[in-house]
Amino acid sequence: MLTHLSIHNYALINYLSIDFTKGLSIITGETGAGKSILLGALGLVTGNRADLSSLKNTDQKCVIEAEFSLDGYGLATLFEELDVDYDDNTIIRREILPSGKSRAFVNDTPVRLSVLTTLKTNLLDIHSQHQTLEISDESFQYSILDALANNTAKIASYKRGLRKYNILKKELKIFQEEAKKSTEQYDYNLHLFNELEEASLQLGEQKILEDKLDKLNNIEDIKLNLSESLHMVINEEIGLQTQLNSLENKLQKISCYAKEYDELFSRISSLKIELDDVISELESENEKVDFNPLEIEELNDRLQLIYGLQKKHAVGSIDELLKIHENLSEKVSQVQGASDLIQKKENEIKEVANKLDELAKVIMSKRNKVIKPLQKELKYLLTELGMPNANFLIEVRESENYNSFGKDELIFLFSANKGGNFGELKKVASGGELSRIMLSIKNILSKNIQLPTIIFDEIDTGVSGEVSNKIADIMKDMANYMQVITITHLPQIAAQGEHHYKVYKGEKNGVTTSNLKLLNHEDRVLEIAEMLSGKDYSKSAIVHAKELLTK
């Protein structure tokens, strides 16, 4: 619950520091005194956006600090999820600098505004008049049933499952779209793939074929030159072999006379050995040379096939054709295996859907069990609040489609008059009726949810007399389960509070400021007397005020 609030340099407030306690606390004050400023400050400290207009003195920073006692509310896990240090006495601070920059802290740890917003939903419910329309919102109506049905854990599990379900559905759609696109090109891709597959291309093949064809196309010239080369080296009269043999013999005769002659002899002997080897190679190559028109035709056909494929695919090498072949293989395989992938994804979706269906049935069943008690309790409370003919028609019907709340449809209708037609709350209920309905719902929820603090901002507007007493009774009942702070203009409600605060304006050095103080018993008598009959209250107003305080 909120235990302390301090405000510095905000709107009309120069400096304010006030303590709050459990039970029902009342805040009163004249119109324009600054009650809305207090709510604005609490809104800022729990994550609302701010600007420089929030600063009373634009040369100084605005600081708002709220302290909450959280012992017993089980919020340590939430703090851990938010990566914020937990403390039974948690302090939230918001600073707005003259530059317009805003900073937020939880237990002196800097945090993002989103952290404050998340904490707010678990710490504080500020209920103003315009928020009464929330009761017509489907998500709020579901939250009522789920709070009473204790569906929190199952709803969280359902939402996790729904997220997974939606992700799988998106993935399936992508698979199906890709499969459709691939299928449209499948026949052409398969034709191209088969064409390259049948070609059985090999790396380096083109160069080998081109070289071989070049050799065969020049076979006559090759044969002629090989034959003439052999004649030059093996002719018995003038051949190189005969001449080299003679030279070797002559050098051998003088090799023993000097080292230089012996070296020349050795070198010529080496040349003779090399020449003999060359002659052997020439003879071998000359014997192998054979003109084969069929082989030339085969080589030409093979090369034309390669050249044709390169032209078709706009590439210049077999290496590039092999890469295209690999890519086509993947595309063809994807189409051929797409049905398997789609079937696998559909099976995953079906499995998640089955679990979602089971959860949704449990959630709907638990909702249905709390509807009659809820209707009965609402009718009782609204009768107490001067609406004896009020009736609700609440139904949960099974749906074919999943939504954020389960697999059902919620009917939440209202009738204010006996025999009247049921209709949507926002269409058939007046502002005053909506306020009383919301108060009744908040009263019921207060016994079923662990919310530390609720603040009502003039929820009693438009009511008077005995109804105002009943509103006060309901708020006192709620205060048994949570801290209740209410801003009111009704003396009957103000008198029922355990603690009474007054917002008032003052003037210092010609500057108007708003202030807040805790009233003692005597101050409360005068404040309630003023609420009864104005500033010029009479003795009878004081007597009436004392009577209200003793009830």
pLDDT at position 132, please?
A: 72
In the structure, what pLDDT confidence band is assigned to residue 284 with cuts at 50, 70 and 90? confident
Q: Distance of CA 137 to CAs 314, 322, 387, Å?
A: 63, 63, 22
Domain assignment present for residue 39? The answer is yes
pLDDT at position 166, please?
A: 95
* pLDDT per position as a tens digit, 397-455: 999 999 999 999 999 999 988 877 899 888 888 888 888 898 999 999 888 887 889 99
pLDDT at position 511, please?
A: 82
The encoded tokens of residue 324 equal 């295209």
* Domain identity same for 123 and 192: no
* pLDDT per position as a tens digit, 493-550: 999 999 999 999 888 777 888 899 999 999 999 999 999 988 888 889 999 999 999 8
* Domain identity same for 75 and 213: no
Map tokens 């081109």 to a residue: 210
Length of the chain: 551
Domain assignment present for residue 162? The answer is no
Residue 337 clears pLDDT 70, i.e. is over it: no
The encoded tokens of residue 337 equal 């295996």
The model carries a pTM of 0.68
* Domain identity same for 190 and 319: yes
pLDDT at position 63, please?
A: 94
Domain assignment present for residue 340? The answer is no
How large is the angle between the packed helices 318-384 and 152-184, nearest 10 degrees? 150
Give the mean pLDDT of 271-289: 84
pLDDT at position 129, please?
A: 66
pLDDT at position 8, please?
A: 93
* Domain identity same for 113 and 196: no
73 within 8 A of 452, measured Cβ to Cβ = yes
491 within 8 A of 531, measured Cβ to Cβ = yes
Q: Which residues pair with 511 in a beta bridge?
A: 508
* Domain identity same for 123 and 251: no
The rounded percent of the chain whose pLDDT value lies above 70 is 98
Strands of 453-457's sheet in order across: 124-127, 453-457, 483-487, 24-28, 499-508, 511-518
Domain of residue 282: give its range. Answer: 186-334
Residue 264 clears pLDDT 70, i.e. is over it: yes
498 within 8 A of 15, measured Cβ to Cβ = no
pLDDT at position 130, please?
A: 65
Residue 131 clears pLDDT 80, i.e. is over it: no
**Residues 343, 348, 351, 352: what is their CA dihedral angle, to the nearest 10 degrees?**
-140
The three-class DSSP label of residue 397 is: strand
Strands of 62-69's sheet in order across: 13-19, 2-10, 62-69, 89-96, 102-106, 109-110
The encoded tokens of residue 266 equal 């050795």
Q: Distance of CA 191 to CAs 198, 201, 322, 339, Å?
A: 11, 16, 15, 21
Map tokens 């329309």 to a residue: 133
The encoded tokens of residue 42 equal 């609490």
Give the mean pLDDT of 3-12: 92
The rounded percent of the chain whose pLDDT value lies above 90 is 44
pLDDT at position 357, please?
A: 95
Residue 353 clears pLDDT 90, i.e. is over it: yes
Q: Distance of CA 144 to CAs 135, 152, 430, 435, 442, Å?
A: 9, 11, 21, 16, 9
The candidate with the shortest Cα–Cα distance to 494, out of 91, 23, 27, is: 27
* Domain identity same for 204 and 122: no
34 within 8 A of 11, measured Cβ to Cβ = yes
The encoded tokens of residue 415 equal 């009738």
In the structure, what pLDDT confidence band is assigned to residue 20 with cuts at 50, 70 and 90? very high
The candidate with the shortest Cα–Cα distance to 232, out of 223, 222, 242, is: 242
Residue 308 clears pLDDT 70, i.e. is over it: yes
Give the mean pLDDT of 461-471: 80
Domain assignment present for residue 534? The answer is no
* Domain identity same for 117 and 201: no
Least confident span in 129-143, 253-267, 355-369, 498-512: 129-143
Domain assignment present for residue 359? The answer is no
* Domain identity same for 320 and 231: yes
421 within 8 A of 389, measured Cβ to Cβ = no
pLDDT at position 186, please?
A: 74
pLDDT at position 180, please?
A: 77
pLDDT at position 170, please?
A: 94
Domain assignment present for residue 250? The answer is yes
Domain assignment present for residue 51? The answer is yes
In the structure, what pLDDT confidence band is assigned to residue 294 with cuts at 50, 70 and 90? confident
Measured distance CA(82)–CA(47) in Å, rounded: 14
Mean pLDDT of the chain: 88
* Domain identity same for 95 and 228: no
366 within 8 A of 395, measured Cβ to Cβ = no
* Domain identity same for 190 and 311: yes
Residue 89 clears pLDDT 90, i.e. is over it: yes
The encoded tokens of residue 222 equal 């090759």
> Among 334, 367, 383, which residue terminates a domain?
334
Domain assignment present for residue 321? The answer is yes
Based on the structure, what is the number of domains in the chain?
2
* Domain identity same for 39 and 117: yes
Give the mean pLDDT of 25-53: 86
Burial state string for 485-518 with b = 16 or more CB within 10 A and e = fewer than 16: bbbbbbbbbbbbbebbbbbeeeeeeeeebbbbee
The encoded tokens of residue 257 equal 């006379």
pLDDT at position 244, please?
A: 84
Higher pLDDT, 459 or 394: 394
* Domain identity same for 24 and 96: yes
CATH code (residue 468): 3.40.50.300
- For 166, residues 6+ apart whose C-beta sits below 8 A from its C-beta are none
